[in-house]
Structure 1
């Protein structure tokens, strides 16, 4: 058997293993999807499939009683996430370039600190941040969420881009400088275009992290002025006090998952390319 070539039994084993992992990972999503089409009567039963498929839950979040809560939260999520992603990409690009290209004391400490921040428990930061934001007037504002989101997105962005910048030949920038370009022109016209796959990958990852945040969204907001969708789902109510909002919550969860799925399907090659190129030491 040639090196690296799988036998028939190994292919079958890997196929069953892959199918098992996919079923394990996708079953919760399938359950939420099915629940979003259930009637209130079906929600109380133990059946997986609804006896009657209905769009009532989607109508509730778009034109019904949960319309204002959901659509406002959706607008907040889109705006806050896009701004946080854009700021994180710009700052991490500049920081990663400096770390990859320049020799200065403390470079490893910066990378280590970024990694430490990324693994620091978010819940331990919420209380002091809550008190600080109330004092300086950032509580329940877009800016009050964008700044904490940067603490989530910047570390992974810096690590991803710094690894990617190391793969770009240093001679290209030197050639641009010899031709009369300034340091900024060489960076903008020679380095950034080559780093586009890594920058794009970083933007996608940062978007996912900010889009899915719940802890900051629920702790640093009190009204619909800045509350994002993950936090707003906790405030869904049924048509009456005796009615569970499970169907409406499931419908809203499916809606906010669609952008993530669409982005991955459309740009999966760019994402894989950016991650693999940044992971290979050239």
Structure 2
């Protein structure tokens, strides 16, 4: 009887059935989504409604969005940000993958030192190099150009990109490359036909992080540009003005913030599975 009762015992409930886990998930979701909701709420208000802290807009309107989308400087800044962020991401992925692969595969001395030197670049605060870079870029003719933004953005995104891809490449079995060599492929063919497809989650993660940094960066963009021809979206939003001298353009700023958040949200939704796989790669052994 005891054996029969033991055999009929219900299996222990997993974490997905634990109410405390779902409560924690709900708290995290609320904490993450409330700022976005409040931003959308503010973007739908105009005039006196902006000073009212209401949970819903009393008189919802799309006037702020129409004003932002009819602003030629903002649209140009949107295009500049897209060019700078996309170029930075593509170059970061290309350079980081070529640099990370030998660091992960080749047996060489000083790999830890090389990675340490690469990561040390991220310890320099942007404010410490903004003034010297302004002077240097002005002498080289790169001031107020898109190239003048892409170069420092690439410098700041490469260290983390290389470090992340090195960790990811190490998790790919070496036997797969050896099997490719037996089939007659060259090292480069094995790299882009075997290794890169398997490293897609890590590459997607690095690409998203690089794109987000280049898309949201403000300090260098404000220091190295002065006109709308090279100004990016974060700086363009900072130049928004109200209808009068003393009016804060909260509605248009909120509308512009919602608009520039859409590309990032779409990217994360499209590549969410690969991002999760890339972030959790190597977390479980065996």
Structure 1 and Structure 2 fold alike (TM over 0.5):
yes
Aligned residue pair count: 277
Question: More displaced, 225-234 or 194-203?
Answer: 194-203
CA–CA separation in structure 2 for the residues paired with 1:90 and 1:177: 23
Mapped pair 1:213 → 2:217: yes
* 3-state secondary structure, aligned to 1:82: helix
Q: List, as ranges, runs of 4+ consecutive aligned residues in structure 1 with deviation greater than 4 Å.
A: 1-4, 278-282
Give yes or no for contact 2:92–2:210 (8 Å, CA) kept in 1. yes
Q: Name 2:23's counterpart in structure 1.
A: 16
Mapped pair 1:54 → 2:43: no
Give yes or no for contact 2:218–2:235 (8 Å, CA) kept in 1. yes
Shift of 1:248: 0.5
Larger Rg: 2
Question: More displaced, 193-202 or 124-133?
Answer: 193-202
Taking structure 1 as reference, are residues 46 and 256 closer, same or farther at Cα in structure 2, changes over 3 Å only? same
Shift of 1:272: 0.6
Mapped pair 1:109 → 2:116: no
Match of 2:175 among 167, 171, 174: 171
Shift of 1:201: 2.1
- 1:249-272 Cα shifts (integer Å, max 9, x gaps): 100000000111111122211111
Taking structure 1 as reference, are residues 6 and 257 closer, same or farther at Cα in structure 2, changes over 3 Å only? closer
Mapped pair 1:155 → 2:166: no
CA–CA separation in structure 2 for the residues paired with 1:21 and 1:280: 24
Matches of residues 1-282 of structure 1 in structure 2 within 5 Å? 5-6=14-15, 11-63=18-70, 67-280=71-284
Shift of 1:46: 3.5
Question: More displaced, 156-165 or 235-244?
Answer: 235-244
- 1:189-238 Cα shifts (integer Å, max 9, x gaps): 22222222221222122111211111111111111121110111100112
Report the TM-score when normalising by structure 1.
Answer: 0.90
Shift of 1:280: 4.5
* 3-state secondary structure, aligned to 2:271: helix
CA–CA separation in structure 1 for the residues paired with 2:51 and 2:102: 57
State the superposition RMSD in angstroms: 2.1
Taking structure 1 as reference, are residues 280 and 159 closer, same or farther at Cα in structure 2, changes over 3 Å only? farther
- Gapped regions of structure 2 (runs ≥ 5): 1-9
Question: More displaced, 177-186 or 229-238?
Answer: 177-186
Question: More displaced, 119-128 or 225-234?
Answer: 119-128
Shift of 1:47: 3.2
Question: More displaced, 211-220 or 22-31?
Answer: 22-31
Shift of 1:123: 1.7
Taking structure 1 as reference, are residues 279 and 117 closer, same or farther at Cα in structure 2, changes over 3 Å only? farther
Q: Name 2:4's counterpart in structure 1.
A: none
Shift of 1:181: 2.4
* 3-state secondary structure, aligned to 2:280: helix
Shift of 1:121: 1.8
